[in-house]
Every structure is written in C-alpha cells, then in structure tokens.
C-alpha cells in the first residue's frame, strides 16, 4: 500500500452517542426529548416535510414541550442565512436542537446548537478544531441518503464575502442522537435520491482511496460503497422500496463515519466551485466529477481503486489497473441508470469559466492534501475539460 502514507497514524473517532435505524423511528424522538427532561425544542426543517412531521409535533405538544419550527433554509446556506436564523431563534430558549432534513438543514442545526449561546463568532470557528464547546443537546434526522452530515463533525457554509464554501469542523458538531427513518425518504424525488446517493458513495470512495486512509475506517468505506452501489438504482426507480431506502441510508451513515477521521479529497475539492459559482447541488457536482477524478487518481493507487471496483460489484480483471478501470465504468453506468447528467455541458456550465473554477478549487487545500495523486491548477483544468 505505498500510496497510503499513514496507515497506522493515530486516529480519534467520534461517533454519535446513539443511532436508531428503523421505519417510523421518527416517533421515538418524543421519548428522547421527554426522557431527558427537555422543555423546549427548536426544530430546523423544510416546509415540504411539515406534513410528515405533524404526528411528531402533536406528540411533543401533548407532552407539554414548547416547540419552535424554523423552515428558513431553502438552499445551500450562506454565513448570512445562518446569522439571520440564529438571530431569529436566540429568544426561543430551546434546550434541544433537532435538525430534520437534508445536509444543509442538518449542517445549520448543528451550528445553531453550537452557537446559540456561544460568544465565538462564525469567523472565529471557521476552520478545523476552533469551536470551543456546545452546550445544547443535538438530534439529527436525515431525510436524504445523503450527505452523512448526521454522523460527521463538518458543517459547510458559503462565505458571502468571497462566495467560497467554507468548512467548520469540530468534534462538538457530531450529534448526540441520530434517527434514521426510511419512511421519511420514500417521497424523495428520483433526481434528489440519485444525487445524494452518489454524494454518499463519493464519501466512502474518497475515504478509502485517501492518502490518510485508515484500516478502522476502511471497513465502513467498503461496506458503504457496496450498500449504495447495490441499492441506489432500486431506490431511484422505486422510491417506495423501503428495503433499498434503508440500505442506502445505512450506506450514507457509513459515509458520514468516514468524514471525520479521514474526509474526502479531489472530487469534493473540484465540486465546490460548481456549487459556489453555479449553485449546482452538492451531490450532482460530485457525481459529475467522480469518474474523471477516479481515472486521474488510478495510477497513484491502483490497488485501492481495484478494491473499490470489487466493492462496487465488479469482478477482478487481469490486473489492478484493469479492475480499477472497470470500477470507473461501473460508476458511469450507475450515473446513467440514475438518469442524471454526465457532463458539465449538460448543465450549462460556461466552458470559459473553467480556469476560474480551477483557481477556486486550489483554495480547498484541506481536501486536496488528501488526494492520492497531487492536483495542481493545470491538472484541475484538465479534469474539468474532460468532464465537459
């Protein structure tokens, strides 16, 4: 494993304190709130989910819990979106913060729990390990399978000052309780299921092929790749397939486990400018670049990419390079079977902005340093052009 430079480096893994997986497990949230003696709950969610949350809200109110619901996050959030929300909920006196939604909603809920009575500013905590504490209880319920935010120490916001995505990474952002309820995912549109599923697959794949890969995380990464590859198209084709939904959600959670100790690499770094310049959804940005970055990386880590291919369901070929290449083709087939765009051209990216995107991607050094093969600005341009 020459490309894995730090296989036995020291590693600290913070898992959520409790994970519940099961159909209609959302209703166990009430017990969680009551049994811990919380009196006031802030729920960060999106309006399309309000119908599904009615039974939960009724249960909480019946138990005498004061509930404040916020649905102001409707896109990938910026610093200003977060500050506006924080200002509007400071008065609620909530002792438990509950995020129910996709990655953006969960990221914001995690930050609200940390910041609602913290004197550090957002600028103070942007970066790695700068947040000093979190005093509010935090419960996350993902409704996509997905970003893995429910299990990760990361929250991503767009900085209004320079329009760049910034990461706030802290062990204090790992939730106390996670509830994974596939019943909340059955009505997710096919294209959202596809894009978020490919995002989760990218988390697992980039962790396993990472320069900082670790045997403890490898097992989650490979298992996550297998679960997502085997179930994604089923869930896209039939959103009511609860078995496929459940397995996808578990695969996504495993991707979340990979994010703290190992994190992602070149695919994510190159996908960020698509989000900040063109507001392309994060999952779709990753899917568009994944096969091209894989091809670029294979020469630096053929054994790892061959193992990825086998986890995806490919047979071993005559050598690791051939097997790894079959994995790339399998990813292309998955993207095609999911019915989502396969090139930057298809989503109306202006080819003339590629140099600017490459320059922006170079700023994401916290992820680029993990990539098994170095990516400089010219390499980034080449990858974007290949993906065009």
Residue 144 has a pLDDT of: 95
Residue 387 has a pLDDT of: 97
8 within a domain of the structure (yes/no) = no
Rounded to 5 degrees, φ, ψ at 145 are -125, 100
Residue 3 has a pLDDT of: 55
Query: Are both 171 and 207 inside the same structural domain?
Result: no
Give residue 59's domain range.
Answer: 25-180
Residues of the chain with pLDDT under 50: 1-2
State which H helix or E strand residue 97 sits in: strand 96-101
79 within a domain of the structure (yes/no) = yes
Rounded to 5 degrees, φ, ψ at 141 are -125, 100
Query: Are both 65 and 208 inside the same structural domain?
Result: no
Query: Are both 75 and 166 inside the same structural domain?
Result: yes
238 within a domain of the structure (yes/no) = yes
Residue 7 has a pLDDT of: 65
* Most distant CA atoms of the chain, gap in Å: 65
Query: Are both 169 and 201 inside the same structural domain?
Result: no
3 within a domain of the structure (yes/no) = no
Residue 4 has a pLDDT of: 58
Query: Are both 176 and 195 inside the same structural domain?
Result: no
Query: Are both 236 and 166 inside the same structural domain?
Result: no
Query: Are both 201 and 255 inside the same structural domain?
Result: yes
β-strands 137-142, 164-169: how paired? unpaired
Nearest alpha carbon to residue 374 among 356, 362, 384:
362
15 within a domain of the structure (yes/no) = no
Query: Are both 264 and 363 inside the same structural domain?
Result: yes
Contact 29, 98 (CB under 8 A): yes
Residue 2 has a pLDDT of: 43
Query: Are both 157 and 195 inside the same structural domain?
Result: no
- Give the whole-angstrom CA distance, residue 307 versus residue 101: 33
Residue 5 has a pLDDT of: 61
The count of C-alpha atoms lying within 13 angstroms of the C-alpha of 348, restricted to the half-sphere facing its C-beta, is 3
Query: Are both 200 and 257 inside the same structural domain?
Result: yes
Which CATH number belongs to the domain containing residue 67 in this structure?
Answer: 3.40.50.1970
Q: What angle do CA 133, 176, 59 make, to 5 degrees?
A: 125
With a CB cutoff of 8 Å and minimum separation 6, the contacts of 38 are: 65, 95, 96, 137
Query: Are both 153 and 222 inside the same structural domain?
Result: no
Which CATH number belongs to the domain containing residue 270 in this structure?
Answer: 1.20.1090.10
Residue where one domain finishes, among candidates 162, 180, 198: 180
Domain count along the chain: 2
9 within a domain of the structure (yes/no) = no
7 within a domain of the structure (yes/no) = no
Residue where one domain finishes, among candidates 156, 180, 204: 180
Query: Are both 258 and 163 inside the same structural domain?
Result: no
Residue where one domain finishes, among candidates 180, 211, 231: 180
Q: Could you say which DSSP state residue 66 is in? A: E
Residue 76 has a pLDDT of: 87
321 within a domain of the structure (yes/no) = yes
- Give the whole-angstrom CA distance, residue 313 versus residue 331: 11
């Amino acid at each position: 494993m020459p490309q894995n430079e730090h296989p036995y480096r020291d590693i600290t893994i913070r898992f959520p304190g409790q994970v519940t997986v099961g159909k209609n497990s959302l209703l166990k949230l009430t017990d969680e709130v009551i049994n811990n003696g919380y009196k006031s709950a802030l729920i960060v969610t999106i309006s399309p989910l309000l119908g599904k949350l009615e039974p939960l809200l009724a249960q909480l109110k019946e138990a005498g819990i004061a509930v404040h619901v916020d649905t102001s996050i409707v896109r990938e959030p910026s610093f200003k979106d977060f500050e506006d929300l924080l200002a509007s909920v400071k008065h609620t006196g909530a002792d438990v913060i509950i995020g129910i939604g996709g990655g953006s909603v969960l990221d914001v809920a995690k930050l609200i729990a940390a910041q609602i009575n913290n004197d550090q500013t957002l600028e103070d905590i942007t970066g790695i390990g700068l947040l000093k504490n979190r005093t509010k209880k935090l419960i996350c319920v993902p409704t996509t399978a997905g970003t893995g935010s429910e299990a990760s120490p990361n929250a991503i916001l767009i900085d209004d000052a320079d329009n760049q995505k910034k990461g706030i990474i802290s062990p204090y952002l790992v939730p106390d309780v996670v509830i994974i309820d596939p019943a909340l995912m059955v009505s997710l549109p096919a294209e959202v299921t596809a894009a978020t599923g490919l995002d989760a697959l990218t988390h697992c794949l980039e962790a396993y092929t990472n320069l900082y890969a670790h045997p403890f995380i490898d097992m989650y990464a490979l298992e996550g790749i297998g679960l997502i590859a085997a179930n994604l198209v089923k869930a896209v084709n039939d959103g009511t397939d609860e078995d496929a939904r459940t397995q996808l959600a578990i695969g996504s959670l495993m991707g979340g486990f990979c994010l703290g100790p190992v994190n992602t690499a070149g695919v994510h770094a190159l996908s960020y400018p698509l989000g900040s310049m063109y507001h392309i959804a994060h999952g779709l940005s990753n899917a568009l670049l994944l096969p091209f970055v894989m091809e670029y990386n294979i020469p630096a880590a053929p054994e790892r990419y061959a193992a990825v291919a086998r986890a995806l369901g490919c047979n071993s070929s005559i050598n690791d390079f051939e097997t790894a290449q079959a994995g790339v083709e399998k990813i292309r087939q998955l993207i095609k079977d999911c019915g989502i765009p396969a090139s930057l051209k298809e989503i109306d990216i202006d080819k003339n902005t590629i140099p600017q995107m490459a320059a922006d991607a170079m700023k994401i050094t916290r992820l680029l340093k993990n990539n098994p093969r170095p990516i400089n600005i010219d390499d980034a341009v080449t990858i974007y052009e290949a993906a065009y």
